[in-house]
Copies of this chain bind each other. A is one copy, B any other.
């Protein structure tokens, strides 16, 4: 059985939990308290030298880190990843966009603001920058979703799962979706998928 090293509040962890649940694939979840350094122990660094969750143990001693690489691994051969070469590349395009333009801004703001982290003057400056860049990422999503129901090929895929994870909790990072009608409609379509689970469900 898959073993998922995870942290319940993590949107990156949620991506994997959500897809495994949609696929009706059983898994064991190991909760690690990242606030207490549980991913930086020698024991965990032997599993993932980058010291991060989610990390999926796909066979005894075989560990796969990086949420979007895990999504791709699990989705191959399922309806959640295109069987077409260009479609796969477009799914990856949006997943790289998510990790480069979206997550470092929207997820990090949520993390800092949501965990009572001290907002130092340096962090205040960084938050202002992340706010600007996070809205730029939302602008790109809105423009794309204005003309199509899902990110790639007109159907729900792991590109949607990757971008849903932190978009649907963007308000926790002080981002308002009020002026993003297409994004809000897409969030509703994703949440209405059969088998959908909330981020709070382990």
User: Which single member of B72, B95, B122 contacts A125 (CB below 8 Å)?
Assistant: B122
Binds B, one of A18-26, A86-94, A192-200: A86-94
Closest Cβ–Cβ distance, residue A15 to chain B (whole Å): 12
Q: How far is the CA of A141 from the CA of B62 in the complex (A)?
A: 18
Q: How far is the CA of A33 from the CA of B76 in the complex (A)?
A: 38
B92–A68 contact, CB under 8 A? yes
Instruction: Count residues of A near B (Cβ-Cβ below 8 Å).
Output: 36
Please give, as numbers and ranges, the residues of chain B lying within 8 Å of A100 by CB-CB distance.
99-100, 103-104
Q: Is A49 an interface residue (CB 8 A)?
A: yes
Q: How far is the CA of A101 from the CA of B129 in the complex (A)?
A: 18
Say what secondary structure dominates the interface of chain A.
helix
Given contacts A99-B99, A103-B100, A72 and B92 within 8 Å (CB-CB): yes
Given contacts A99-B99, A104-B104, A64 and B90 within 8 Å (CB-CB): yes
Mask, A91-124, CB within 8 Å of B = 1, is 0110111011101100000000000000000100
User: Which single member of B70, B95, B103 contacts A89 (CB below 8 Å)?
Assistant: B70
| In the complex, the 8 A-B pairs of residues with the closest C-beta atoms, listed nearest first | A73-B89, A69-B92, A69-B93, A66-B96, A66-B93, A99-B100, A69-B89, A49-B140
